[in-house]
Chains A and B, each alone.
Chain A
């Protein structure tokens, strides 16, 4: 199985500041069709996960441009600029290139 390693586990931030979350995979996430199926989710307290970024760098509908994704191969990053209160919660990366699909362990974004 592909192991997805997210760091840090906890990320204290100040409102208006910037946050960066890393997600590394144990093998390349480039599919045989050339696409990379690495996605990012935010789970706010008491809510279901919501899609932020799909296929590395594409913002989902309604997601502010404060969120950006980058990376390739086995190394990926989610950046959040100008952090707002509604950005707090647990962030997860997901790979759907290889079965079984696997999530990272999560990063808790909290106030400093």
Chain B
């Protein structure tokens, strides 16, 4: 059974940093692209970042480019999202998702609140 479990969320002040983690199990992690998708409270879904199987290629929308960094450790079957220079508009539930030309499996999500 595919499982994705996020951790690392919490309350953080504007301008500070936070790092999210996602522990994967139930599939060969190194064979799949992985991604982060977020959802602001009572809002829709927004793609945040994607990383290739080896980690050599990463993709971001302009809204987070230069501030967020996606990375992975295939030996640990783990995905990460380093978020710097956080803004209030980054407040959201962040989902880890497996990418297979579409997001086929999602974690339960982790809440990030950016507020002073």
Q: Chain A interface (Cβ within 8 Å of chain B)?
A: 1, 35, 37, 39, 41, 43, 48-51, 54-55, 60, 92, 94, 96, 99-106
Contact of B102 among A55, A102, A104, A106 (CB under 8 A): A55
Bound-state CA distance A41–B106 (Å) is 11
Bound-state CA distance A12–B32 (Å) is 38
Question: B26 contacts the other chain (Cβ, under 8 Å)?
Answer: no
Contact of B44 among A1, A60, A92, A99 (CB under 8 A): A92
Q: What is the predominant secondary structure among interface residues of chain B facing chain A?
A: strand
The answer to whether A54 and B44 touch across the interface, beta carbons within 8 angstroms, is no
The answer to whether B104 and A54 touch across the interface, beta carbons within 8 angstroms, is yes
Contact of B103 among A51, A100, A105, A106 (CB under 8 A): A51
The answer to whether B47 and A102 touch across the interface, beta carbons within 8 angstroms, is yes
Give the shortest distance, in Å, between A23 (CB) and chain B (any CB). 13
Give the shortest distance, in Å, between B4 (CB) and chain A (any CB). 9
Write the B30-42 contact mask toward A (1 if CB under 8 angstroms, else 0). Answer: 0000000100000
